[in-house]
Structure 1
Amino acid sequence: MNIFYNLIKYFLFLTYWLLIANISFRVLMKRRNIPASMSWLLTIYIIPFIGISIWFFFGELYLGKRQKKIANRIWSISNTCLNELKSYKHIFQTHNSEVANSLFQLCKHRQGISGIKSNQIKLLSNTKDIMQMLIRDIYLARKNIEMVFYIWKPGGIADDVALALIDSAQRGIHCRLMLDSIGSIEFFQSPWLDIMKQSGIQVVEALQFNLSRIFLRRIDVRQHRKIVLIDNYIVYSGSMNLVDPDLFKKSSGLGRWIDLMTRIEGPIAAAIGIIYSCDWEIETGLKILPQLPDKKISKNKFNINSSVQVIASGPGFPKNMIHQALLIAIYSAKTELIMTTPYLVPSEDLLQAICTAAQRGVNVSIIIPLCHDSILVKWASRVFFTELLEAGVKIYQFKKGLLHSKSILVDQQLSLIGTVNLDMRSLWLNFEITLVIDDSDFGYNLLTIQNEYISDSQLLDKKIWSMRSYWTRILEKIFYFLSPLL
């Protein structure tokens, strides 16, 4: 019996060290940034059993085997569509403003197309009004409706959107709906799933959560995009989930979630349609052909002073593209840089870019929520405050609800609006989308909204911040240590 127990003991001991050695080798062989690599190694060696478990859940397996195979080749396939899109030369902008030029050049060389002219672009900040406008556009649809959201929570005005979508499907409009499995869990447990399918809507549960496959892929890779495409011409995108703002997380006591969305009419819909078709194929294995712009559209209908690019991230899309775009936008700032984000856990490169902007005389403001829905991220973000404040960055804490808007405005000319938070998960993991808009009128509208945020915020005082307790600083450092894993 003792021999048996000794064999079991030696087997477990050998298995343990083989796991430690294997994970250590994989951490070292994959070129992560040094803080992330050190965090993984220290976690594995200091709290080994917990560290090993965390690695298997969140380490490096991004997608399931079939999805990964499709994702590895998806962008080259979509380039066929991009090449066809490039033949529509009249839809592309030939020049950009000085502050936007470098970023649009990056997009052109890495994604294959220049900035696209828009017919009409609106910045929307009232969630109720956005939902009403969306419902109207759905009822007016004539060909097709494609939607993807991280969260669809039934109830209130979200049900009105569902009814409009069902009505459109029943009158012959081709409707596709893709929702994240975890973010929209309440939807998938509701009667709306069967009702929509029975009406003819194609509903896909993106990145489906399955306990039996928990070790085969990362469970925290999420479909975080928010997109609506109508008739291959109208586009909605931004930070808003499909929820009733009066009902969503009401019990949390945080107040309303504050969001931004853009509504664009024009050929940018074709570029976003290519991204949607890639996402659809990754999830279903089925190809859908994105609709290209109508060549009959008159050149006179385009806004010659506006240029729009779309950047997508996630497995299968150009690597680090959004991170590069953020860095270029920040370094392009000459006079003013305003950023809004609910989650502030920047990479070291982004942190230095923001601090450097302030130190070279740019008026830099960051607006974040005062109250937060994530305790982990709230504490992890605090460790960056001292360095930002010392560099001269103004940090505003929004008091009237949970500020969920993700926006960057550079010199009142270049705007970035989308789903990307300033944290590791958005920058390098999730399926995200950002609209890059070179338009002074749009920039003015964004500035107006950001100034409203600032008026409803409190400015973080550098002296008061420096007087926080010793134990608070220790807690911040602990969460900072974990920030590369968040």
Structure 2
Amino acid sequence: MDKVYHFLTIASLVLYWILVAGVTLRVVLKRRAVSVSLAWLMVIYIVPIVGVACYFLFGELNLGRKRAERAKQMFTPFGDWFRQLNHCQAHLPAQVGSPIHKIDELCNNRMGIPALSGNTLSLQASPDEILRSIIKDIESAQTSIKMVFYIWHPGGLADSVASALIQASKRGVEVKVLLDSAGSPRFFRSHWNSMMKDAGIHVVQALEVSPWRIFLRRLDLRQHRKIIVIDESIAYTGSMNMVDPAHFKQCAGVGQWVDIMVRVTGPTVNVLSAIHGWDWEVETGDRILPQLPECQIDDSEAQHPVQVVPSGPGMPEHMILQVLSIAINQSNKSVRITTPYFVPSADLLEILKMTAQRGVNVELIIPHINDSIMVKWASKAFYTELLEAGVKIYEFHGGLLHTKSVVIDEEFCLVGTVNIDMRSLWLNFEVTLAVDDVKFTTELSQLQQSYIDNSYCVDLENWNKRGLPARFFERLFYLFNPLL
């Protein structure tokens, strides 16, 4: 019997060695940032077995065979639709400011999506204002309502939105709602799910979480977009999920979530509708290409060009990261960023440091208390080198600051669903708007300033006095940044 145990022990060690060696080769041979590969190797070696399992679950961008094939087939028809926008009167390259012009060139060359003028933008920063505005527009809907959200959490005014959708469906409006499976489990267990379906609303669960699928596609790949399109004439996007903050995660100890949404009218609405159509087809196989915008442009009015920048599996890789890099590198005076989760790639970290070192005022606003312990400590691992480079870091004390925004030189801005972390910039389905509108940008910058007024500025001298336990946790969780 001892010989059997000895043989099984040796066999298990050999098999484990072969497994680790195989995974190591796969990590090394994959084309990705060296820092990411090294981080994965450290996770695999420091946390045996668990590290290997984590790599199989989270290590590679795997949409799943059916969805991947569907996304590949979709690229041509959607690309053809996007390229037709270049012949629309709303595409006015000469009217687009130089920062957006370069972003327009990138998005146009990589995906066929041009920046479009003739939009109106309304910044909404109060949860009550956002939800009541959405309800009002739903109540006025005549033909269609399309939604995609990461989280739908029943309670408060979110229930009023659901009720408004049910009433809209009953009066003949076609309603399509796409919700992420991992982000909205409470909704799918609630009575609202069945009530909405019974009313004729098409409710679809995106990227369904199931123990049978964990090795068929990457488990933490999520549908993170937030888009509403009503009658192909009004759209919303931004950082806020379909939740009422007063009824959401009240026991998490982070305070209420602080978010924004942008209400849009004009030709950009049709582009956001096409992004919803992309997501709908990836999940269901049903193609819904929206109508092309009519693009009646009044030359006497400000044009407000907006570039829609989507990202996610099946779309050109790293497009939002490239847009963010272009925007920051073009700054001359200031860069102000708000993000709830800050775990940048090595390249983005160097861009931020270099920008501050060339004399640009770089400000980073993040929540003091985060709902993710791992992200909280991993974020702090970057503080020292950022502060030494001259980046100003503010920790917001008024709740969980969930707004995702970037303001450059107070002249143009980026706003949408994108966090400054590896998952948002490399993995998830995301969308952001690049807005060349000084008035809107000024309004967003003033909102960011209100966040700073309710924040603590991290001082390098005091930061360097933090204790050894804090330094240990920073470095420990920094090792897991590929998972964050």
TM-score w.r.t. structure 1 length? 0.96
> What residue number does 2:347 align with?
349
Please report how far the alpha carbon of residue 241 of structure 1 lies from its aligned counterpart in structure 2 after TM superposition: 0.5
Q: Is the 8 A contact 2:116 2:268 kept in 1?
A: yes
Q: What is the CA–CA distance in structure 1 between the aligned matches of 2:43 and 2:296, rounded to whole Å?
A: 59
Distance 1:368 1:271, change over 3 A: same
SS of residue in 2 equivalent to 1:252: coil
> What residue number does 1:485 align with?
483
SS of residue in 2 equivalent to 1:21: helix
> What residue number does 1:416 align with?
414
SS of residue in 1 equivalent to 2:304: strand
Q: What is the CA–CA distance in structure 1 between the aligned matches of 2:469 and 2:249, rounded to whole Å?
A: 31
- How many aligned positions are there? 484
> What residue number does 1:146 align with?
146
Q: What is the CA–CA distance in structure 2 between the aligned matches of 1:383 and 1:485, rounded to whole Å?
A: 15
Q: 1:468 and 2:475 equivalent?
A: no
Correspondences of 1:72-151 after superposition (within 5 Å): 72-151=72-151
Q: Is the 8 A contact 2:225 2:417 kept in 1?
A: yes
Which amino acid in structure 1 is aligned with residue 315 of structure 2? Answer: F
Q: Is the 8 A contact 1:254 1:372 kept in 2?
A: yes
SS of residue in 1 equivalent to 2:384: helix
Correspondences of 1:396-411 after superposition (within 5 Å): 396-411=394-409
Stretch moving more, 173-182 or 277-286: 277-286
Q: What is the CA–CA distance in structure 2 between the aligned matches of 1:97 and 1:446, rounded to whole Å?
A: 18
Please report how far the alpha carbon of residue 356 of structure 1 lies from its aligned counterpart in structure 2 after TM superposition: 1.1
Q: Is the 8 A contact 1:394 1:460 kept in 2?
A: yes
Q: What is the CA–CA distance in structure 1 between the aligned matches of 2:267 and 2:124, rounded to whole Å?
A: 20
Stretch moving more, 107-116 or 164-173: 107-116
Query: Once the two structures are superposed, what CA deviation does each residue of 1:170-210 show, in whole Å capped at 9, x if it has no partner?
Result: 11111100000010000000011111111111011000001
Q: What is the CA–CA distance in structure 1 between the aligned matches of 2:50 and 2:141, rounded to whole Å?
A: 51
Q: Is the 8 A contact 1:93 1:304 kept in 2?
A: no
Choose which of 363, 370, 373 in structure 2 pairs with 1:372. 370
Q: What is the CA–CA distance in structure 2 between the aligned matches of 1:335 and 1:379, rounded to whole Å?
A: 30
Q: Is the 8 A contact 1:119 1:302 kept in 2?
A: no
> What residue number does 2:180 align with?
180
Q: What is the CA–CA distance in structure 2 between the aligned matches of 1:119 and 1:43, rounded to whole Å?
A: 47
Q: What is the CA–CA distance in structure 2 between the aligned matches of 1:36 and 1:335, rounded to whole Å?
A: 31
> What residue number does 2:321 align with?
323
Please report how far the alpha carbon of residue 413 of structure 1 lies from its aligned counterpart in structure 2 after TM superposition: 1.2
Stretch moving more, 284-293 or 394-403: 284-293
Which amino acid in structure 2 is aligned with residue 117 of structure 1? Answer: S
Q: What is the CA–CA distance in structure 1 between the aligned matches of 2:220 and 2:278, rounded to whole Å?
A: 20
Q: What is the CA–CA distance in structure 1 between the aligned matches of 2:384 and 2:25, rounded to whole Å?
A: 35
Correspondences of 1:121-270 after superposition (within 5 Å): 121-270=121-270
Distance 1:302 1:173, change over 3 A: farther
Q: What is the CA–CA distance in structure 2 between the aligned matches of 1:240 and 1:262, rounded to whole Å?
A: 10
Q: What is the CA–CA distance in structure 1 between the aligned matches of 2:371 and 2:355, rounded to whole Å?
A: 29
Please report how far the alpha carbon of residue 260 of structure 1 lies from its aligned counterpart in structure 2 after TM superposition: 1.3
TM-score w.r.t. structure 2 length? 0.96
Which amino acid in structure 2 is aligned with residue 166 of structure 1? Answer: I
Query: Once the two structures are superposed, what CA deviation does each residue of 1:231-283 show, in whole Å capped at 9, x if it has no partner?
Result: 11111000000011111111123221110111110111121122111111110
Q: What is the CA–CA distance in structure 1 between the aligned matches of 2:434 and 2:100, rounded to whole Å?
A: 9
Q: What is the CA–CA distance in structure 2 between the aligned matches of 1:21 and 1:133, rounded to whole Å?
A: 56
Stretch moving more, 78-87 or 388-397: 78-87
Q: What is the CA–CA distance in structure 1 between the aligned matches of 2:437 and 2:300, rounded to whole Å?
A: 13
Q: CA RMSD in A?
A: 1.7
Q: What is the CA–CA distance in structure 2 between the aligned matches of 1:303 and 1:321, rounded to whole Å?
A: 31
SS of residue in 1 equivalent to 2:145: strand
Q: What is the CA–CA distance in structure 2 between the aligned matches of 1:124 and 1:337, rounded to whole Å?
A: 22
SS of residue in 2 equivalent to 1:187: helix
Q: What is the CA–CA distance in structure 2 between the aligned matches of 1:61 and 1:324, rounded to whole Å?
A: 18
Q: Is the 8 A contact 1:128 1:245 kept in 2?
A: no
Q: What is the CA–CA distance in structure 1 between the aligned matches of 2:300 and 2:159, rounded to whole Å?
A: 35
Q: 1:27 and 2:27 equivalent?
A: yes
Query: Once the two structures are superposed, what CA deviation does each residue of 1:137-161 show, in whole Å capped at 9, x if it has no partner?
Result: 0010111100000000011100000
Which amino acid in structure 1 is aligned with residue 344 of structure 2? Answer: P
Q: What is the CA–CA distance in structure 1 between the aligned matches of 2:361 and 2:101, rounded to whole Å?
A: 21
Q: What is the CA–CA distance in structure 2 between the aligned matches of 1:303 and 1:204, rounded to whole Å?
A: 40
Please report how far the alpha carbon of residue 442 of structure 1 lies from its aligned counterpart in structure 2 after TM superposition: 0.8
Q: What is the CA–CA distance in structure 1 between the aligned matches of 2:448 and 2:299, rounded to whole Å?
A: 30
Which amino acid in structure 1 is aligned with residue 145 of structure 2? Answer: I
> What residue number does 1:65 align with?
65
Please report how far the alpha carbon of residue 9 of structure 1 lies from its aligned counterpart in structure 2 after TM superposition: 4.4
Q: What is the CA–CA distance in structure 1 between the aligned matches of 2:267 and 2:300, rounded to whole Å?
A: 10
Which amino acid in structure 1 is aligned with residue 218 of structure 2? Answer: R
> What residue number does 1:272 align with?
272
Give the % identical residues: 46
Please report how far the alpha carbon of residue 89 of structure 1 lies from its aligned counterpart in structure 2 after TM superposition: 3.2
Which amino acid in structure 2 is aligned with residue 408 of structure 1? Answer: V
Q: What is the CA–CA distance in structure 1 between the aligned matches of 2:15 and 2:467, rounded to whole Å?
A: 44
Q: 1:440 and 2:444 equivalent?
A: no
> What residue number does 2:50 align with?
50
Q: Is the 8 A contact 2:61 2:427 kept in 1?
A: no
